[in-house]
Amino acid sequence: MAHDHGHDHGATAETPIRPLVAALGLIVAFLVAEVVLGVVAHSLALLSDAAHMLVDAAALGLTVWAARLARRPPEGGMTFGFRRAEILSAQANGATLLVLGVLIVIEACFRLVSPPHVHAPLVVGTAAAGAVVNVLALLQVARANRESLNVEGSFRHLLTDLYAFAATVVAGAVIWATGFERADPIASLAVAGSMLLAAWPLLVASGKILLEAAPEEIDPSEVGAALRGHAGVTDVHDLHVWQISSGFPALAAHVLVERGEDCHRIRRELETLLHERFGLDHTTLQVEHTAARLLGITLLPPDRQDR
């Protein structure tokens, strides 16, 4: 039996941490100010923005934590290291977005029935300032490794928050100009909608990784067909394709080859095929001769057959 693997672990670029920390500082500083101003102005739209920014801050904090944790080398029972910390972080971010979005919808419904007085100029000024802070934070996060699902999740949080600030500015302007105070809960519904839209794909993508589904860009049946079509290969079984983390796909398979073939040569050729055609670098291929498989014999590599 020839049994070997390739170990280029993918996602080679580590997530830069300093830009994420800078973005986190900006968001937290403005978050505190917005909560105070939202309470003073009696604006649910501002408090909704603040809730969204709280999620952004949590997302960025978890992203920094996961990025630091992912740099730790494999040790003990953690044979893949801590790379999946970012996926757990993405799950937490998505779930928090979902819950806050639902809570904002419930509160907005109450305020549509009985809208409180809103201090419109304060709402407009605060939301406009928040948009500027949000753009600065987005520029910082954009410098990080967006191939990471968790970093991309944080970027999406900030982007939807920018949309939320725009909606709040519009709502404040409408109240300021017309006195239509229901514009504030209507804007908060738009904010909640953006949160729910950001949460769902994040939960789905991270959930697929945790369930060890194949990456969307890789079709396992196509991979199997390519392996079986290689010269000298008679069958492929126990084929598994999954993701360890964002940008870190892996494959394991049992490959049967014809009796007279060189198992080691074919294994190396299959690894090259997997790399060039499917971008799979972390592969574990167990290669056996067909006749030996049928007889229940395990063939040792040539350098061990005389021992």
Same-domain pairing of 241 and 229: yes
Same-domain pairing of 178 and 229: no
State how far the Cα of 20 lies from the Cα of 4, in Å rounded to an integer: 38
Amino acid, single-letter form, for residue 58: A
Identify the CA nearest to 6 among candidates 306, 303, 269. Answer: 269
What's the confidence (pLDDT) of residue 198?
A: 80
Q: What is the DSSP letter of 219?
A: -
Q: Tokens in use for 20?
A: 């994420």
Same-domain pairing of 124 and 257: no
What's the confidence (pLDDT) of residue 196?
A: 87
Domain membership flag for residue 41? yes
Q: What is the DSSP letter of 214?
A: P
Would you give the end-to-end CA distance of the chain in angstroms? Answer: 15
How far is C-alpha 245 from the geometric centre of its chain's CA atoms? Answer: 9
Structurally, the chain folds into a number of domains equal to 2
Q: Which of 193, 210, 227 is the last residue of a domain?
A: 210
Give the domain range for residue 146.
18-210
Tell me the per-residue pLDDT of 189-221, one tens digit each, with 9 for 90 and over: 888 888 888 888 888 988 998 898 999 889 999
Same-domain pairing of 87 and 206: yes
What's the confidence (pLDDT) of residue 256?
A: 93
Domain membership flag for residue 4? no
Domain membership flag for residue 7? no
User: What's 23's domain CATH number?
Assistant: 1.20.1510.10
Same-domain pairing of 27 and 66: yes
Tell me the per-residue pLDDT of 247-292, one tens digit each, with 9 for 90 and over: 789 999 999 999 888 889 999 999 999 999 999 989 999 998 886 5
State how far the Cα of 266 lies from the Cα of 302, in Å rounded to an integer: 14
Domain membership flag for residue 13? no
How far is C-alpha 120 from the geometric centre of its chain's CA atoms? Answer: 37
